[in-house]
Homo-oligomer: A and B are copies of this chain.
Amino acid sequence: MPATKAEIRSGAYFDSAFLMQLQRNLAALPGVLDAGVVMGTEGNKELLAHIDLLSPEVEKAKPDDLVLVVRAESEAVAAGALGKVDELLTKRKSAVSEEHRPQSLETAVNDLPDAEWVLISVAGRYAAGVAREALRLGKHVFLFSDNVSVDDEISLKQISSSKGLLVMGPDCGTAIIHGVGLGFANKVRLGPIGVVAAAGTGLQQVTSRIHQMGGGVSYGIGTGGRDLSEKVGAITFKQGIDVLSRDPETAVIVLVSKPPAPRVADEVLQVARKAGKPVVVNFIARPLAARQIENLYFAGSLDEAAQMAVELVKNPPQAKAGSLPLERFAPGQRYFRGLFSGGTLAYEAQYILQGYLPRVWANAPLNKEYKLANSLISQEHTIVDLGEDEFTVGRLHPMMDNELRIRRLLEEGEDPSVAVIMLDVVIGFGSHPDPASELAPAVVKAKKAAEAGGRYLEVVAVVTGTGEDPQNLDHQIEQLKGAGVWVSTSNEEVVRYAGQILQGLNAQPTPDGAASTPVDLTGLQKPLAGINVGLESFSENLKVQNVPTVQVDWRPPAGGNDRLMSILERMKQR
């Protein structure tokens, strides 16, 4: 009759690769039906229950306890299997002792002083301590371990960023440093695409796809999946963007993240805008606000991010000619006023300006919060749709009758805080027979009035229509240009041009957060050498890649006793 037997060993530490091996060895013994070898956490006990390996002893196990369970054909076989555990453990020890290994990180650093990196994959509760030690020794950290607290993550990243070091992780599955893969990493061609990822398999999928498409990768900087959370605030992510923006071998940057905190994602995008290189963005589940804003390219999937990056390397975007006339504005000029006749164009303008300005007030707002208190009076950045019902009771639509709009244009132009006024000029059947003939003189008047007041007024316009319309598109554009209006037939293009000016005029110095020291690039570019604490397979991976490596024969400090551990750590930090 099948029987289940268990054994609990208190305070025993083995790495998880060894536990898996032990479980497989037990399960392979003759007469054994199933086996479980896990730490006694609640989650693991639920799992054992789910697969019918729970027994009364196991239920009593504590998280620090090693649980060994065997289900076998008979009680005797189960007991016999458990009896073999010590033998299996001994086998392992003799295999390990063949090779000399330093017992501490400090010794390992002496053994391999060139190592810039420490890889850490010990159990979560020990990982922060090891990482702190590595930072103290001036090393970058690849922190594979999960089950590390957010508070530890924040404190580690604050230390590292102040020292110009990277902490990739915790729970960082993968990274590529100048052609060398750390942790779970694919062998990917060296090339001009740099990736920063708060997304382990995201990084693997993107870099693998880049390789499959013929592209190559300079760096794949992992940050751990929580880096873009509200609490952590993208400390490592921003360091990563900074590294890649300075790295001369990186031509295109790709940013990937698991669902980020919206505020943090916005902050990261502000940093990315200043990278001076094309940046492809795929933040999972964050809807695309646009396909492109300046140097940012938004991808809808990991796969598309890879495609876009490869494409951008092949066809780099042309640098834009001409700069923005920012210096022409007087101090205090900083607001946008859009005077629209077309509701859709007004909505689209609001939507696009979200990428440039914190808020835009409107009489027909996208977001009810930003409803203009009085449609006749602008405030800060404002968009008025003069074709809204409130303006058209018993009055002609503003596409036919320019009067109201001209009055408003002159009024807005007199406001010393206004920098840019936008108009839409929609021609075609039904519209005013020659709108520019009325609007252009009004623009001249408004610009002159501003000039007399010591200001510069930028007026921009989208003209919608065709060359076959009765008003003739070109003739309308000429008149407006003659009045000094910046004109395009694409609403999007006009709004983005205005958005850039306004962003420039309203730019705040970027807050630095905690004092951050730039990461030294030459250190990253040197041939890699690494010290590994934890899963031995990570050492083996480095050796396969011809990377000098030292494996630390790590044991929990103070035998895993929490109180002693914390005393030891405090002593070291003195």
Instruction: Give residues in A with beta carbon < 8 Å to B.
Output: 16-17, 19-20, 23, 38-39, 41, 43-44, 46-47, 50-51, 63, 66, 123-124, 146-147, 171, 173-174, 181, 183-188, 197, 199-205, 208-209, 211-212, 225, 256, 258-259, 284-285, 287-292, 300-304, 341-345, 347-348, 350-352, 366, 374, 376, 387, 389-397, 399-401, 403-404, 407, 424, 426-431, 462, 464-466, 468-470, 489-493, 535, 537-538, 541, 544-545
Contact = CB atoms under 8 A, between A and B. Distances in A.
Contacts of A391: 43, 47
Contacts of A284: 344, 347-348, 351
B366 A187 contact: no
Contact of A537 (B183, B400, B492): B400
A513 to B, nearest CB: 26
Contact of A287 (B66, B208, B287, B465): B287
Contact of A39 (B211, B288, B393): B393
A345 B544 contact: no
Given A202-B344, A208-B489, A186 B124 contact: no
B41 A464 contact: no
A63 B403 CA distance: 21
Contact of A399 (B16, B19, B184, B348): B184
B348 A202 contact: yes
Contacts of A345: 201-202, 205, 302
A464 B343 contact: no
Contacts of A289: 287, 300
Nearest to A49: B376
A394 B38 contact: yes
A199 B340 CA distance: 14
Given A186-B465, A187-B469, A348-B301, A395 B290 contact: no
A44 B375 CA distance: 12
Given A187-B466, A211-B466, A489-B209, A396 B204 contact: no
Given A171-B389, A186-B464, A199 B343 contact: yes
User: Number of copies of this chain in the oligomer?
Assistant: 2
A300 B285 contact: no
B187 A19 contact: no
Nearest to A468: B187
A247 to B, nearest CB: 22
A16 B342 contact: no
B287 A344 contact: no
A376 B201 contact: no
Contacts of A39: 393-395
A50 B404 CA distance: 11
B343 A258 contact: yes
Nearest to A364: B258
B43 A426 contact: no
Contacts of A199: 343-344, 347
A185 B376 contact: no
Given A44-B394, A183-B430, A202-B342, 12 more contacts: A16-B396, A19-B395, A39-B393, A39-B394, A39-B395, A46-B376, A147-B393, A205-B342, A209-B489, A209-B490, A288-B300, A301-B352
A394 B123 contact: yes
Contacts of A342: 173, 200-202, 204-205
A32 to B, nearest CB: 14
Contact of A186 (B188, B350, B395, B427): B427
A222 to B, nearest CB: 11
A208 B351 contact: no
A202 B469 CA distance: 17
B466 A186 contact: yes
Contact of A205 (B290, B344, B429): B344
